A and B are shown apart, each in its own frame.
Chain A
């Protein structure tokens, strides 16, 4: 029996791997298929969710649309692949998707060991804790012995372990795979605390029936610079991802919005803006895109500020302040590299 099973099993293992092949140029592939494949999360209000019309919407989704607008000139030509914290990296490295835009923390080992290239930081975040007000807890340091719901396959697991260890407290982790499962467990109080990135907590809380009954504790226990990423080894594609993000930020700084972008492309006199919008110079074509790709991007999604305000800002249910994610001129960390 063993003699028959063993070779069969080996062939099976190897077969799965053989499906993975390396691709030539991602840009060529995307143009040829006329569709951008983008991995997002399985549902997190404000970042990536499906609205009542069946459309993907959110902060991470809009970045994918911006890239599609830059490359294909059409923000609707995106095929979204929902991924969990566990499946996202395999989806990207196997070539199933061209781009991963899913609240992913930029870390050394993901950049170096997993062979990915981060396009930059689209959202500066940090890990926090949410508890029901009825628990009577006001600081994370009072959580000794608590049961903590945590999404598995994320950096939060290691942060949590380190934080409780450093403060000499014990806890009981309840690992869950998706935000929706965390919500189910947390609302049934099968766990006392839900921990993830503070933006994710705010997003989850916004979807509760009674958001006022839950508080996010003041402690932020880690740095979580979230950003989109692509596979390492295709520098042209990485440049496109990086500069799409950069021009979104740059456009906000320069006051270019969805409403005035076409107007500005024609009438602007500032050489910086003329360069950015392709009215002057050949910068766009140097990374293999149409010269006016920035106009397409801003027309499709608006600038960074507009994307933020539409999906996460203080006028939405999520109600996040810009905080660290304001322009450097407003005391935030957003500082786009010069477009020249």
Chain B
């Protein structure tokens, strides 16, 4: 009878680095790390020596010099005497504006198109299929240029334009004008009341949920919320002497003045990005809904739930788990595609920092690095936020 004797911890030999699975993965990782570092250091020295040969230094002090160019669309105060960093900031805000508007609209378009593509109505489902196939398969740059050309070519110039809806909407080939809200003294009261109402709605929802869990009775939450939001704010508005007003656009000189000016470049970019990305989202939504087994909705119907509630309570929560991960990459794509803005003259960050600033200062390296850092941070933030949401709607083990 032989006895297996353990020899204690096995002695380490060099050959184990690639033969022993315990060490092998570490070996490869270290080799990969060294390779990456070598390539990295080669590239850095290459830049440094090339910049030195070209007689250029690497610094960011140009950001504090006056930009000396004007930007048409600015969400913050900006003049041509402001420094370059402020021009970059104006561009960043413009990028974020079109990205947020685009993501929201693309989602709305995508959900509608995705659901309607599953419609039993042959015509509707075919129209949606055609939309998805065309929008997905034509380069987004062409779509942006097309929308822009259509607006510039078909809409009237300001002098020939015809205000619609009693002067509330003007469409010209330089942009769309809508009324803006003017505030006078006392308007803070209306805002305060409105904010309190919003809190009130959340309280109501919690109360309604508890009520339903305890007694099984459901409150008409939708109608009540609407009432809470509107009535007190309206009362405050009249009580404070109507401090809020609307400013209508008016034709003065060359252009319309007053109101909110949505430039053709913004609308064209926004619309084209939404239509393009909407087609991808539509496919995700359709895939998500089709992935939920039919038995789920049949079981819900058997329990007596109506179609709308089946969709909202049974199908969608499960479908969302499938829809959201690809949705993240669609939002990221939209944000990055917004850098095509210069094609229609929309001054996003690529147009200001990566365009005019880069050109006037000649600081290509610095500007491009800053731009890449900005897009990286934005994309990672969107990704993080969406991952968080994805985490919230995942299946929770009980």
Q: Is A219 located at the chain interface by the 8 A CB criterion?
A: no
**In contact, A189 and B356 (Cβ under 8 angstroms):** no
Among the listed stretches A1-9, A122-130, A210-218, which one makes contact with chain B, having 4 or more residues with CB under 8 Å of it? Answer: A1-9
A157 / chain B contacts, CB cutoff of 8 Å: 68-70, 356, 360
Question: Which of A168-176, A263-271, A276-284, A292-300 contacts the other chain?
Answer: A168-176
Q: Does A93 contact B (CB under 8 A)?
A: yes
CB–CB A115/B43 < 8 A: no
The reply to whether B53 and A22 form a contact with Cβ atoms under 8 Å apart is yes
Interface check A190, CB cutoff 8 A: yes
- Residues of chain A within 8 A of B44, CB atoms compared: 14
For the complex, count residues of A whose C-beta is within 8 A of B: 58
* Most chain B CB atoms below 10 A, which of A9, A90, A190: A190
Check if A22 sits within 8 Å of B68, measured CB to CB: no
In the assembled complex, which residues on chain B have CB atoms less than 8 Å from the CB atom of A259? none
Interface string of B346-368 (1 = CB under 8 A from A): 01000100011011111011001
A153/B355 in contact, CB under 8 A: yes
Q: Complex formed: what's the CA distance from A11 to B351 in Å?
A: 24
Task: Report whether B43 and A86 are in contact in the complex, using a CB–CB cutoff of 8 Å.
Answer: no
Q: Check if A233 is an interface residue, CB within 8 A of chain B.
A: yes
The stretch that binds B, out of A43-51, A71-79, A142-150, A222-230, is: A142-150
Interface contact B157-A11, CB-CB below 8 Å? no
Interface size classification for chain B: 35 or more
Q: Which of B40, B56, B68 is close to A11, meaning CB atoms less than 8 Å apart?
A: B40
**A89–B254 touching, CB < 8 Å:** no
Q: Are B36 and A5 in contact (CB under 8 A)?
A: no
Note all chain B residues with C-beta closer than 8 A to A233: 54-55
Which of A57-65, A158-166, A201-209 interfaces with chain B? A158-166
Residues of chain A with a CB closer than 8 A to B47's CB: 14, 17-18
Q: Does B253 have its Cβ within 8 Å of any Cβ on chain A?
A: yes
- Please encode chain A, from 83 to 127, with 1 for each CB lying within 8 Å of some chain B CB and 0 for all others: 001100110010000000000000001100111000000000000
Beyond A177-B342, A233-B55, whether A113 also contacts B355 by CB under 8 A is no
**Given A145, A147, A152, A165, which contacts B342 in the complex, CB threshold below 8 Å?**
A152
| Neighbouring A residues of B42 by C-beta, 8 Å | 18
Q: Is the CB of B383 within 8 A of A13?
A: no
Cβ–Cβ < 8 Å partners of B153 in chain A:
188
Q: Is A232 part of the binding interface, using a Cβ–Cβ cutoff of 8 Å?
A: yes
Q: Mark B76-90, 1 if CB is under 8 A from A, else 0.
A: 000111000000000
**Given contact pairs A21-B50, A175-B347, A184 touches B152 in the complex (Cβ within 8 A):** yes
Residues of chain A whose beta carbon lies under 8 Å from any beta carbon of chain B: 1-2, 5-7, 9-11, 13-15, 17-18, 20-22, 85-86, 89-90, 93, 109-110, 113-115, 143-147, 152-154, 157-158, 160-162, 164-165, 171-177, 181, 184-185, 188-192, 232-233
